[in-house]
Structures are given as structure tokens and as C-alpha cells.
Amino acid sequence: MSWIILIIAGLFEVAFASCLGKVKETSGTEMYCWFAGFLVSLTISMLLLIKATQTLPIGTAYAVWTGIGAVGTVLMGIFFFKDPVSFWRIFFIFTLIASIVGLKSVSH
């Protein structure tokens, strides 16, 4: 169950990073709404990370959490924010995913 909670926490990390990206693109009321989404996503992500680290090793949990956030944020950037795509960028995303899977497989 802790791994599921950790994955959800990582997805909320993607959400707060994406909201932060939208904050810089907007203004007025819309900016404040995205900022509120950032705060809510950040809070949920941190609370779920805390919950997951009650049974998982902190080093592993934090690495997986940041890895999910990094991969998800890069993919969000590519698909929604028109970030550049290159062979090396995709290659290193896959190596990061392989590292996350490796950490999960060697953790108790």
C-alpha cells in the first residue's frame, strides 16, 4: 500500500510543478487559481510522502518520489508546454524510469 501512496504522491508532485508552470503564463484571477492548485497539490504530495515514509526507507521513497515527479514533469512539459524533444532527452527519461523500477525491485 505504501508504494501506491508514494506513486500518488509523485503524481501530485507533477501536478504542483505543472501548476507552477501555468502560474508564470497567466495573470490576474487565473494566476491565483493556478497558484491555489499549486498549494493544494504541494500539500497533498507532501502529506502522502510523509505517509509513505512511515513504512518505506526515506532514501528510496524520496528518490522514487522525485523520479516520478521529474519524469512526469518533463512529459507534461513536452506534451502541454511545448518543451523541446530530443533523442538524449528521451534516452535519459528512460534511464530515470529504469532507475525508479530498479529501486523498487531492490527495496524490501
How many domains would you assign to the chain? 1
Put residue 28 in one of left, alpha, beta given phi > 0 → left and psi -120 to 50 → alpha: left
Residue 2 DSSP label: H
The predicted-structure confidence for 12-50, as pLDDT tens digits, reads as follows 999 999 999 899 899 999 999 999 999 999 999 999 999
Average pLDDT over residues 43-59: 96
The reported pLDDT for the residue numbered 6 is: 97
- Dist CA 56 CA 80 (whole Å): 33
pTM here is 0.87
Q: For residue 31, give its domain range.
A: 2-106
Share of the chain above pLDDT 90, in %: 83
